[in-house]
């Protein structure tokens, strides 16, 4: 696992330690040329907000590995952003310093049965250990406020998450969720188990009915019935649906920050409007970015 254009960027663990709070964005690798143009418009519009870091996912089942590598490398080389490349046990990685280590979905079917490669890794904790032995990498892992869909019970899910942390994880990002209580329960149980790894909540505003359907299909997240009812009632009015979804997400973010969450990780769906709107509603648009020392790559803290 060799160094690349982003290997000498600040380590996310250092930015988290000094910033007070982390505000980060998640992008998806584009599938078409038009999609790539949309992605880069979103990146450039969000770049002035100076997030702590940005991540680039794999497509469902690891279907967009090459694009993930290319986009992550380009962000590292051509922007002021600190990228975190996704690395799964089913695919390859880009050589950047900050890595989000995931077991990954079964290739071709994110909801299919998992089968490890005979000569590969079986679990994300093994991947964390491998990355940590390969160099000075900063590693993030996934957390699941509602429990991993393949975990047999909550206690097993907790034990495995703590195992990933003890393998060397520096931070965690949750799968998106709608109920504050689910995040708080996870955070408190992890702390009670003796782990102090920062758990950053993942937030995805519902901006269309198609987004809602995708959320349910891919994540299985529980959506509050009253939110579904409001969205369904407004289904013929795209602007109204978007306002309902953004407002709900902004209110959830307010409550998370009030509960001392270590930051927010916005799933942008390669758009910028919803994230910019939420920033405005939370009063974050005027927050400072990295100071000059951090911009030079020293890993100095952001001003929260």
Residues identified as active-site: 26
CA distance 170 to 139: 5
Alpha-carbon distances, residue 233 vs 216, 228, 229, 238, 241 (angstroms): 18, 8, 6, 11, 9
Q: Are residues 96 and 76 in contact, defined by beta-carbon separation less than 8 angstroms?
A: yes
The residues that bridge with 85 in the sheet, in sequence order, are: 56, 99
């Amino acid at each position: 696992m060799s160094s690349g254009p982003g290997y000498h960027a600040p380590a996310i663990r250092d930015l988290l330690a000094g910033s007070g709070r982390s505000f980060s964005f998640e992008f998806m690798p584009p599938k078409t040329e038009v999609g790539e143009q949309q992605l880069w418009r979103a990146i450039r519009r969000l770049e002035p907000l100076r997030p702590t870091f940005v991540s680039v996912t794999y497509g469902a089942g690891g279907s967009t590995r090459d694009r993930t590598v290319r986009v992550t490398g380009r962000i590292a080389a051509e922007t002021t952003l600190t990228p975190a490349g996704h690395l799964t046990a089913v695919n390859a990685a880009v050589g950047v310093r900050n890595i989000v280590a995931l077991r990954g979905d079964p290739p071709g079917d994110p909801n299919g049965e998992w089968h490890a490669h005979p000569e590969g890794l079986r679990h994300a904790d093994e991947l964390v250990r491998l990355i940590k032995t390969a160099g000075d990498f900063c590693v993030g892992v996934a957390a699941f406020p509602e429990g991993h869909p393949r975990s047999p019970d909550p206690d097993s899910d907790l034990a495995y998450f703590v195992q990933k942390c003890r393998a060397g994880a520096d931070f965690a990002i949750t799968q998106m969720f709608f109920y504050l209580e689910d995040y708080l329960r996870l955070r408190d149980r992890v702390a009670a188990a003796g782990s102090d790894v920062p758990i950053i909540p993942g937030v995805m505003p519902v901006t269309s009915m198609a987004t809602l359907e995708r959320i349910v299909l891919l994540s299985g997240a529980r959506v509050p019935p009253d939110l579904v009812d409001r969205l369904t009632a407004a289904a013929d009015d795209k602007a109204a649906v978007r306002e309902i979804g953004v407002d709900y997400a902004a209110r959830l973010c307010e409550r998370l920050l009030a509960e001392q969450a270590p930051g927010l990780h916005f799933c942008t769906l390669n758009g910028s409007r919803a994230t910019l709107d939420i920033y405005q509603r939370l009063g974050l648009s005027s927050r400072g970015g990295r100071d000059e020392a951090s911009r030079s790559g020293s890993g100095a803290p952001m001003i929260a």
